[in-house]
Amino acid sequence: MISRIPISDVSPTVYFGGEFLPVKAIAGESISIAATAVIEGHEKLSLQVVLHDAKGKVVTRADMHEIWPGTNRYEGAIVVPAQGDFFYVIEADSTSQYRTVYGSTEKFPIRGDRDRALIGAWYEFFPRSEGAVKNSDGTVTSGTFSTATKRLPAVAAMGFDVLYLPPIHPIGISHRKGPNNTLTAGANDPGVPWAIGNSDGGHDAINPELGTMKDFENFVAAAKKSGLEIALDLALQTSPDHPWVKSNPQWFNKRADGTIAYAENPPKKYQDIYPINFDDDYEGIRDEVLRIIRLWVSKGVRVFRVDNPHTKPVHFWQDLLAIIRLESPDVIFLAEAFTAPAMMHALGKAGFHQSYTYFTWRTSKWELMEYGREVAQQTSAFFRPNFWVNTPDINPFHLQAGNPAMFALRAVLAATLTPSWGMYAGYEIYEHRPFKEGGEEYLDSEKYEIKVRDWDGATKKGLTLAPFITQLNAIRASNPALQRLRNLVFHNTESDAIIAYSKREGDNLILVVVNLDPSFVQGTIVHWDMKALGITSDVFSVKDLLDAKKFEWSEHQYVQLDPTRPVGKVAHIVQVKL
């Protein structure tokens, strides 16, 4: 039923599965609300956006203003005051000739999550590689939670606040993969961590080579002491040796001959992994996964990276995540879903707090601008991006030359375009060799073998990006503008090799200019949109947060960036003095 004053095209809203679902926000975040309102004749309208708590109590009431005269498009803002569930309503009224008429919308839900749902610097390492030792006979002694604990201070010192661990569970023996994905494993090959389960247990057990449950608990405590949250991998699949294969055979797909079908993700084949079938015992699987999550939450884990969620039913995730949210609202779920955008978005609507993204393959100026606008404005109501520069599965083509400037500029983009970004261990020492030409797998991939790295040696030789990464994360931590998603604005440059953008939160205004060419000096004029920046003067003062140099910049500013010097300059990250 149309109200007395029709109000339409309300944004942001999330309509999915036949109902309005919560718009994503974090406590303290300002959300811009827009709507179109009309009334007959020439009467003037007044609009307000009214925020209510879950019980219906009014929290705030803010005026909305017409964006441009005659458009009937109004805009206002609400600030989500705390973690929890809220809803907003847009109210309109018009008073003339001694009469007042009213109109209002339905209730649109909005949810305040804790900060980590939006903001985070993620680092990934395999515990079995941290502290591993290569023996004189060529064999490798696995690292453990105890030896990996020694790596925690270095990760924290780089400014990371989330440490993601690939699966830490017992690894299957049957069809175990060898180095570089060979189908035959040797006696000392450790196997792929995602092939979960053997006689030592499944998703609720610790790989004995890494230690005991107590060792894991000590590891989590040590990480917390260093300022790191531990993110565990939730991979709903098994090895052929997992206890579920015998205890719950109905959870697996069968071939015509009665054997269980292994996993495939064309063109990749995973002979060491069985996928889960959710059709024959949905509630049984859901309840078992809930038990597993609750177990790890009881051990101090508050973040889960979910492996391939797009290969499981979306309604399963909506069901599961809703239950966990009611029990443990601080628990965060990151979707590792490199798949069709529609599915990635559906998972976000279903309840995932964050998702991996296509940033890893966006390299040109126009690709980055298009994708940046998409995640910052078009999909931000339901999809929070986490920009990863690499993963154990993805050695991007642009990194395979090993050019340090490329590693640096990609880190700048990931760390400043969005509030959450991530990198996999080895990035900081420029690991880049591909398994084969035309492919994105790493040579001697850590998925199949233990990797012994000489972190100290790389530091002594200066062959590390760690100091630069440390700078980036420090800049992010001290500038609220870089801790928001929806405030991204791109600015025009006269070169396809240089991208420029800004982010502002209150009085904190950050400008970023990046040379996308890692091999040559590039210069151009950046045309800053002064209205978008909120700057009224012709000249403004800036401080480069990477080298502490101060400049006077103007609306049409020439910049030059040289990545080829001994200490390359791939970007300006400047703070504007307001």
For residues 154-177, give the mean pLDDT: 97
Asked whether the predicted pLDDT for residue 149 surpasses 90, the reply is yes
Residues 289 and 244 sit within 8 Å (Cβ to Cβ): no
Tallying the residues shown for the chain, one arrives at: 578
Q: Domain extents for the chain?
A: 7-113, 116-170+204-233+281-482, 171-203+237-275, 486-576
**pLDDT at res. 565:** 77
State pLDDT tens for residues 424-444.
999 999 999 999 999 999 999
**pLDDT at res. 566:** 63
Strand, coil or helix: 570 = coil
State pLDDT tens for residues 322-363.
999 999 999 999 999 999 999 999 999 999 999 999 999 999
For residues 103-128, give the mean pLDDT: 97
Strand, coil or helix: 384 = coil
**pLDDT at res. 299:** 98
For residues 259-268, give the mean pLDDT: 82
And the tokens for 259? 């054997």
Asked whether the predicted pLDDT for residue 267 surpasses 80, the reply is no
State pLDDT tens for residues 497-520.
999 999 999 999 999 999 999 999
Q: How confident is the model at residue 568 (pLDDT cuts 50, 70, 90)?
A: confident
Which segments of 271-364 does DSSP mark as H helices, in order?
282-298, 314-327, 341-350
Strand, coil or helix: 94 = strand
Q: Where does 135-207 show beta strands of DSSP type E? A: 140-141, 162-165
**pLDDT at res. 41:** 81
Average pLDDT, the chain: 96
Closest C-alpha among 129, 121, 122 to residue 447: 129
Q: How confident is the model at residue 1 (pLDDT cuts 50, 70, 90)?
A: low
Q: Where does 437-527 show beta strands of DSSP type E? A: 489-493, 498-505, 508-515, 522-527
The amino acid at residue 54 is A
For residues 167-175, give the mean pLDDT: 97
Closest C-alpha among 242, 352, 333, 236 to residue 286: 236
Q: Where does 239-298 show beta strands of DSSP type E? A: 263-265, 268-270, 274-275
Instruction: Dump the DSSP string for 405-433.
Output: HHHHHHHHHHHHHSSEEEEETTGGGT---
And the tokens for 70? 């005659």
**pLDDT at res. 258:** 81
Q: What is the CATH number of domain 486-576?
A: 2.60.40.1180
The amino acid at residue 76 is G
Closest C-alpha among 103, 77, 95 to residue 25: 77
Distance CA 10, CA 5 (A): 14
Residues 187 and 193 sit within 8 Å (Cβ to Cβ): no
Distance CA 9, CA 1 (A): 15
State pLDDT tens for residues 71-86.
999 999 999 999 999 9
Between the alpha carbon of residue 550 and those of residues 522, 540, 541, the distances in Å are: 20, 11, 7
Torsion of CA 474, 476, 478, 479, to 10 degrees: 150
State pLDDT tens for residues 206-216.
999 999 999 99
Percent of the chain with pLDDT over 90: 93
Domains 7-113 and 116-170+204-233+281-482 in one fold: no
Residue 529, burial from CB neighbour count under 10 angstroms (0-12, 13-18, 19+): middle
Asked whether the predicted pLDDT for residue 97 surpasses 80, the reply is no
Q: Which fold has domain 116-170+204-233+281-482?
A: TIM Barrel (3.20.20)
Q: Tell me, yes or no, if the pTM score tops 0.75.
A: yes
For residues 22-29, give the mean pLDDT: 98
Strand, coil or helix: 477 = helix
Residues 458 and 429 sit within 8 Å (Cβ to Cβ): yes
C-alpha angle 174/176/182, rounded to 5°?
140
Q: How confident is the model at residue 567 (pLDDT cuts 50, 70, 90)?
A: low
Catalytic residues: 307, 336
Distance CA 64, CA 67 (A): 9
Q: Which CATH architecture has domain 7-113?
A: Sandwich (2.60)
Residues 114 and 26 sit within 8 Å (Cβ to Cβ): yes
